Copies of this chain bind each other. A is one copy, B any other.
Amino acid sequence: MPVHSEQLQYRTRGAGSVIDLTPRVSQVVRESGATSGIATVFVPGATAAVTAMEHEQGNVSDLRELLDRLIPPDGTYEHNRLNHDTNAHAHIRAALLGPSETFPIEAGRLLLGTWQQIVLVDFDDRPRERTVIVNVVS
């Protein structure tokens, strides 16, 4: 069985909230039985992203502040104007960070740094139900 796939469900508050995916991605890796390989973590949807960071209150706050400064929710955006929408900032933030990251598996475990977690960042301007897809190739 070269590829093992699972879909994880999360409820987010949107608005740049950062959710630690590591516990459940680690569980998928364990259940896959993979000893050595890779795990790709992907979020469907055009207003959320997957990356890695230390999931600590200060870092989460700093990332949100940075993105509010560089790509403000209340800026002037063509997407909002053309579609009578309000989440244009979420679209371009998500495009910048990207929807996927791929992580190594060794000895049956994710090889992450000590203070490094896999995270979902939901940029949409309202609470969302998100599916995160984990594919283990081994």
Distance A137 CA – B5 CA, assembled complex (angstroms): 13
In the complex, whether A8 has a CB less than 8 A from a CB of chain B is: no
Task: List A87-129 residues whose CB lies under 8 Å from chain B.
Answer: 88, 91-92, 94-104, 106, 111-113, 115-116, 119
From B2, B82, B111, A42 is in contact (CB under 8 Å) with B111
Q: Which residues of B contact A78 (CB under 8 A)?
A: 57-59, 61-62, 65
- Chain B residues positioned under 8 Å from A79 (CB to CB): 56, 58-59, 61-62
Q: Which of B38, B57, B100, B112 contacts A82 (CB 8 A)?
A: B57
Residues of B within 8 A of A61 (CB): 78-79
Q: Once bound together, how far apart are the Cα atoms of A125 and B57, in whole Å?
A: 20
6 smallest beta-carbon distances between A and B, as pairs: A58-B79, A44-B113, A58-B78, A45-B113, A53-B95, A61-B78
